[in-house]
Structure 1
Amino acid sequence: MRIPDDARLQLAQRFEVLLPHLNERQRRLAMATEARLLGHGGVRLVARTARVSETTVRRGVFELEDGAEPLSEGRVRHPGGGRMRAEAVDPSLVPALLGLVEPDERGDPMSPLRWTTKSLRHLAAELSRQGHRVTAPTVGRLLKENGFSLQGNAKTLEGDQHPDRDVQFHYINEQVKEHQAAGEPVISVDSKKKEQVGLLPMAGQEWRPKGDPIRVEDHSFFAGPQVETAVPYGIYDMTANTGWVNVGVDHDTSAFAVASIRRWWQARGSLDYPRATRLLITADAGGSNSYRYRLWKAELAAFAAESGLTITVCHFPAGTSKWNKIEHRLFSHITMNWRGRPLTSHEVVVNTIAATRTRAGLRVAAELDTGSYPTGIQVSREQLQALPITAHDRHGRWNYSIAPAVSDDAAQPPQSADERAAARTRALQLLADPRLTGMAGSELDALRARLAPDQEARREQRRYVLRGGRRVATTGRNRSLLSNADEVLVTVVYLRQVCPQKVLCDLLGINPVTIGQAIKATRQLLDEHKITITPTVVRYFTRAQDLHAFITQAAPDQHRMEPSRHALTTPALTGMTREALHGLLEELVVPYAAAIEKRRHRHRGGDRRPGTRGGVFRQKITDGDRILATILHRRRVCGLDTLAELFGVCRSTLWNAINDVLPVLDAHGPAITPAERRYATAADLLASTHAHDPEDHHVVL
């Protein structure tokens, strides 16, 4: 029987409304019900109207006629339907997969993916290469079923722990509680990462109009050769929960660290704690506030003398800086406050830090410090021992106190950074004395002007090499302790053989590395310009005090000075006037140096290799000392042992020097006649020189 058109239309309307809301099984049974009601031809009509296969409709009809029980809630098919899973078809798939992701524990240690990113695609490709047909989604499912997940690195390993680590933590806690109970200030200090100022990318995100991000440089390491930097040094008051940040523009040195603490005390500490007599500082073991740095302790001693506070410092053990309160109570909030915001100027840095607030009540103040804090400052061991520092009984290297006043027998009170800079300037003025440089002031200025362009070019080239060819983070300011003119002066004094580098370091308060690099670079320029610095015939000064006393015309400490070389030049010993001796020494120095170089060239079998004879004082005595010692030996004024004692060297060193000088003296010098008297000891010889020349301590270069 033909199905009416009205029934066809109603069937189409019912399917259009109902079928989209049913799952697979429900649709199949609904279509089967309609087909049974229509009778003959109903299966075909329903299939065409619903646009499905007739087989699907017939399957539904069979299910209705069989009287199958309804499926449990949430199921569409009976259990066991669908194709078998990959691990069921291939039982060796899961072990092979685990062997790839755990090559060090359960699988092959030579796994092909040991040094490759173990992404799902890489794992699936490698399994397919081994004969296991699998896709990336299947690999992800298998990994999750076996307890794997995507994970990053966990920063939990701390390396070797110091045996006194926990003890130090407890000791710091005791010191903090004791100072806070007494109403004394307790601060945590540290320096934050140096930031470049400019339109540079910053980590983090901020709310902005959609499609309008802040445009910044595409590379954070390129900001031009004259980029400014910001060096935040923080002071966190543990008791008041307040922060104070000193934003520097120069180096992060110990002088800068203590200057930050000093500025905090003047701006906040003295107001918050008007009756304070002590100050406790907790700091890391490294950085600008390291317990190893002498300058850190010297600057703290100067601050203690200035403020009248007894300063106690407790350092955290190495590798435990995250326990320092300032890290997670101040610096973390500052980082969150300027996330996603380019630090375009120092004003932005200071205002952003000062705007840091927390719901726990933290308030932060910040100031800009435009002072200069160059590197290379030296504090000698003697200066450190003179400071009023008392080590605690418990791990005195980490825990120590600094009194506000020095003892009566101390040589001098602690010097601040400004006082050291002023003393360095005065010392450089003294070194420019013509008696030391061997040239007038106008000649020295002309030499400086001649070398200045090459010095600046060399300095920029050195920066370029250190930066690896990139133009990054350097300011245009001169941050060196020694200017170009100062480097020329120091090099001239050194090449004149007035004193060794150690004396210059003590006199200027600069470490040997800084002075050594300056002398090396300037000496290369002098060689390129064919400029020769004539050395003095005798090196007199082995201590900074003696050199300073000579320049200022003060009487040197004869009891502490080595035997004066000037005393050995008296006519009674040399057989000639000092003027004649001086001329002879200047005449012999050049041929002697040439003879030594010729002998060394022959021993080396060729040209001098790079780096040899790089210094001036290659041996314990200078060329002038060797010639003078040879003259005294030829005069037979004393024995070889006595002569070695007078020159402060061993017998073999002096004997080798005499053997080198004798051929030159015989070839170029006058005849040397024996002395009238031979002295048995060095004391007898020096006593005779005082008798003949009582003013022998006045040195003339």
Structure 2
Amino acid sequence: MGISPQALAVLDVKFAALLPHLDERQRRLYLASEADALGHGGIAAVARLAEVSESTVARGRAELAGATVLEGRARRPGAGRKLADERDPGLVAALESLIEPREVGDPVSPLRWTTASLRDLSRELAEAGHPVSAPVVGRLLRQMGFSLQGMAKRRAGSQVPDRDAQFRHINAAVEEFLARGLPVVSVDAKKKEPIGEFARPGRTYRPKGRPIIAPDHDFTDPTTPVAIPYGVYDLGRDTGWVNVGTDRNTAAFAVESIRRWWNQQGRLDYSDAARLLITADSGGANSADSHLFKKDLAAFADECGLAVTVMHLPPGTSKWNKVEHRLFSRITHSLRGQPLTSYEVLLQTISATRTSIGLTVSAVLDNNDYPTGRTLTKDERNAILQRVQRDDFHGEWNYTIAPYDPQQSPPADPEQAKAPPIPAEATYLLTHPALTGISREKFDRLVEELQPWRRVLAEAEREKRKGINRRGYNPGFGFLDHRHRVLAAILSRRNTVTLTLTARLLGRDRNTLSYHAHRTMPLLAFATPDIATALDQPRRTHPPRTIEALQNAIAEYESDIKSGSS
């Protein structure tokens, strides 16, 4: 007797209600039990109603009859397809060969990344006889230690000499000023911001589906108003001052921003201060080699009666300036996703910047004009250099400008301001063959041979500088005669004595010797072959740093000469 339609209808309802709540094993056992209840033809009927294979129902009947099944498992051990790398032993090696040419980074690093996409790798593997999907390629890459990463801007630029030492020097000065209750500020200009309904990066909370609407293209023209925020961050009081300019970022604008901060805020916070320390980067309006910046700072020092000490961060390290990550980063956070429709909006947004640790910010608008193209005469530059008191350590980065004192007027005769003559005994000592690698007679001949070439090089540099800004040319370094320029270049090239000791013996500043040695070094290429061979000897790794060590090195050289001749 066949199975009645009424019984099948009842089973159909039961299957629809119960099967979705069962796992694979429970479904097999339940379907097998219903098939047994139906009798002959039950397996086919149940399989048809449940939309499964008859073998599934039959396997359930075997399990009900007492076949061994592991507790807690829905399938037998070993069920399912093998992994792609198990089926194809050469898959991983083929993938390694594909990503190796594209790999970027250190191969021994725990995290590496590749520039090829998963789909590209999957397609190339299939063409090489290893068919595999993109998700499987992603799984294999993760197992091999790869991860998808973006670029990290961490590699520093060119390393300038004494970069770390300058940071330590700045830190020591800042700690000294703060311990004495003197003002210390970090200054810099933020990038220009166009004023108008222009899109800005960042997101803000808004009603869903109602974003702030901005033009699809941010085109500006010369008539578009701009804002130039110049920040002054007070390290001691954790306060910020922003002077928002509307013209150009010049040296006059930078000093005017500092002047406004002092007159409106600094004078109140440090009423008894006689000194001010400013840390700044080495470029832009407050550049380390800008005579205009120093001239305007001198005028500011005269107005407020402060001795202004300036310390510039080494080139390429402006991101470590305190104003960048303690003031500008918070201002950028406040301005995210908001169009700067007017100067008032910008000022209010900047002034509303706060942090949980107490940062407060004030902002003012500066409508003054700051034209470019200002130049200084030679006499004006000399007057500025006389006002600047350079530090013994990298005077081009660290200097102090004191208020003008009428009782200490600068010398009327420029010759009186020149450095004293170099001692003849110091020159005789430093031209010893143990240091220069050539005899004193050859050294004198080299000086004479390079004299015409120096004039040619000087004339070529003058032609090159015609019609361009001379800022940065000999930025405050003292002048050195040709003979001692050649000597400094040779000693620096051979590294037989430190420039610090050389400067002490010659009575000159180390920075002066370093500057002229660097500019004279190309002239040594015109030396005769016998002298050039001597100058190309390997550099010393541990040059003498004291007079005693220098004398010992010379004595050792003379002893070797005598023993060799005997």
TM-score by length of 2: 0.67
Give the 3 Å change call, closer, same or farther, for CA 224–400 of structure 1 in structure 2: closer
Q: 1:176 aligns with which of 174, 177, 189?
A: 174
User: Which residue of 1 is the match for residue 505 of structure 2?
Assistant: none
User: Which residue of 2 is the match for residue 89 of structure 1?
Assistant: 87
User: Which residue of 1 is the match for residue 370 of structure 2?
Assistant: 373
User: Which residue of 1 is the match for residue 231 of structure 2?
Assistant: 234
Indicate whether 1:281 and 2:278 are aligned: yes
1:107-506 to structure 2, matched below 5 A, reads 117-220=115-218, 222-387=219-384, 388-406=387-405, 408-410=408-410
Partners of 1:307 and 1:101 in 2: how far apart? 64
Amino acid paired to 1:396: G
Secondary structure of 1:359's counterpart equals coil
Indicate whether 1:25 and 2:25 are aligned: yes
Amino acid paired to 1:36: D
Contact conserved, 1:198 with 1:223, CA < 8 A, in 2?
Answer: no
1:587-622 residue CA offsets vs partner (Å, 9 max, x unmatched): xxxxxxxxxxxxxxxxxxxxxxxxxxxxxxxxxxxx
1:32-51 to structure 2, matched below 5 A, reads 32-51=32-51
What residue ranges of structure 2 are gaps of 5+ in the alignment?
Answer: 105-113, 413-465, 471-566
Partners of 1:308 and 1:512 in 2: how far apart? 38
Secondary structure of 2:186's counterpart equals strand
Secondary structure of 1:386's counterpart equals helix
User: Which residue of 2 is the match for residue 662 of structure 1?
Assistant: none
Partners of 1:383 and 1:514 in 2: how far apart? 16
**1:5, distance to aligned residue in structure 2 (A):** 6.4
1:40-78 residue CA offsets vs partner (Å, 9 max, x unmatched): 23212322332323222112222333522235x4x5323
**1:3, distance to aligned residue in structure 2 (A):** 4.9
Amino acid paired to 2:63: E
Amino acid paired to 1:402: I
Partners of 1:325 and 1:119 in 2: how far apart? 40
Partners of 2:333 and 2:383 in 1: how far apart? 44
Partners of 2:122 and 2:51 in 1: how far apart? 38
1:246-293 residue CA offsets vs partner (Å, 9 max, x unmatched): 000111111110010001111101111111111010111112111111
1:544-565 residue CA offsets vs partner (Å, 9 max, x unmatched): xxxxxxxxxxxxxxxxxxxxxx
User: Which residue of 2 is the match for residue 16 of structure 1?
Assistant: 16
Partners of 1:24 and 1:180 in 2: how far apart? 74
Secondary structure of 1:99's counterpart equals helix
Partners of 1:105 and 1:50 in 2: how far apart? 51
Partners of 2:303 and 2:99 in 1: how far apart? 63
Amino acid paired to 1:55: S
Partners of 2:278 and 2:200 in 1: how far apart? 31
**1:88, distance to aligned residue in structure 2 (A):** 2.8
Contact conserved, 1:386 with 1:411, CA < 8 A, in 2?
Answer: no
Give the 3 Å change call, closer, same or farther, for CA 512–105 of structure 1 in structure 2: closer
Contact conserved, 2:189 with 2:229, CA < 8 A, in 1?
Answer: yes
**1:356, distance to aligned residue in structure 2 (A):** 0.7
Partners of 2:74 and 2:403 in 1: how far apart? 86
Partners of 2:344 and 2:181 in 1: how far apart? 35
Give the 3 Å change call, closer, same or farther, for CA 305–512 of structure 1 in structure 2: farther
**Larger mean Cα displacement after TM superposition, 9-18 or 27-36:** 9-18
Amino acid paired to 1:124: S
Amino acid paired to 1:391: R
**1:105, distance to aligned residue in structure 2 (A):** 6.7
Partners of 1:199 and 1:178 in 2: how far apart? 46
Contact conserved, 2:182 with 2:276, CA < 8 A, in 1?
Answer: yes
Contact conserved, 2:335 with 2:349, CA < 8 A, in 1?
Answer: yes
1:621-648 residue CA offsets vs partner (Å, 9 max, x unmatched): xxxxxxxxxxxxxxxxxxxxxxxxxxxx
**1:296, distance to aligned residue in structure 2 (A):** 0.8
Give the 3 Å change call, closer, same or farther, for CA 383–411 of structure 1 in structure 2: farther
Secondary structure of 1:47's counterpart equals helix
**1:324, distance to aligned residue in structure 2 (A):** 1.2
Give the 3 Å change call, closer, same or farther, for CA 514–22 of structure 1 in structure 2: same
Contact conserved, 1:47 with 1:57, CA < 8 A, in 2?
Answer: yes
Partners of 1:97 and 1:47 in 2: how far apart? 44
1:601-616 to structure 2, matched below 5 A, reads none
Partners of 1:409 and 1:312 in 2: how far apart? 21
**1:308, distance to aligned residue in structure 2 (A):** 0.3
Amino acid paired to 1:98: E
Contact conserved, 1:312 with 1:402, CA < 8 A, in 2?
Answer: yes
User: Which residue of 2 is the match for residue 65 of structure 1?
Assistant: 65
User: Which residue of 2 is the match for residue 53 of structure 1?
Assistant: 53
Contact conserved, 1:247 with 1:368, CA < 8 A, in 2?
Answer: yes
User: Which residue of 2 is the match for residue 596 of structure 1?
Assistant: none
Secondary structure of 1:30's counterpart equals helix
Amino acid paired to 1:134: V
**1:229, distance to aligned residue in structure 2 (A):** 0.8
**1:389, distance to aligned residue in structure 2 (A):** 1.1
Secondary structure of 1:210's counterpart equals coil
**Larger mean Cα displacement after TM superposition, 301-310 or 376-385:** 376-385
Give the 3 Å change call, closer, same or farther, for CA 271–356 of structure 1 in structure 2: same
1:399-444 residue CA offsets vs partner (Å, 9 max, x unmatched): 11110115643389xxxxxxxxxxxxxxxxxxxxxxxxxxxxxxxx
Q: Give the number of aligned pairs.
A: 405
Contact conserved, 1:252 with 1:288, CA < 8 A, in 2?
Answer: yes
Contact conserved, 1:168 with 1:316, CA < 8 A, in 2?
Answer: yes
Partners of 2:316 and 2:359 in 1: how far apart? 27
What residue ranges of structure 1 are gaps of 5+ in the alignment?
Answer: 107-115, 413-510, 516-701
**1:512, distance to aligned residue in structure 2 (A):** 4.8
1:660-701 residue CA offsets vs partner (Å, 9 max, x unmatched): xxxxxxxxxxxxxxxxxxxxxxxxxxxxxxxxxxxxxxxxxx
Select the structure of larger CA radius of gyration.
1
Amino acid paired to 1:65: A
**1:352, distance to aligned residue in structure 2 (A):** 1.1
Amino acid paired to 1:168: Q
Partners of 2:119 and 2:6 in 1: how far apart? 56
% same residue:
54
Partners of 1:183 and 1:311 in 2: how far apart? 15
Partners of 1:17 and 1:129 in 2: how far apart? 48
Partners of 1:216 and 1:61 in 2: how far apart? 69
Secondary structure of 2:65's counterpart equals helix
Secondary structure of 1:232's counterpart equals strand
Partners of 1:334 and 1:50 in 2: how far apart? 65
1:220-259 residue CA offsets vs partner (Å, 9 max, x unmatched): 3x12441111100000011111100000011111111001
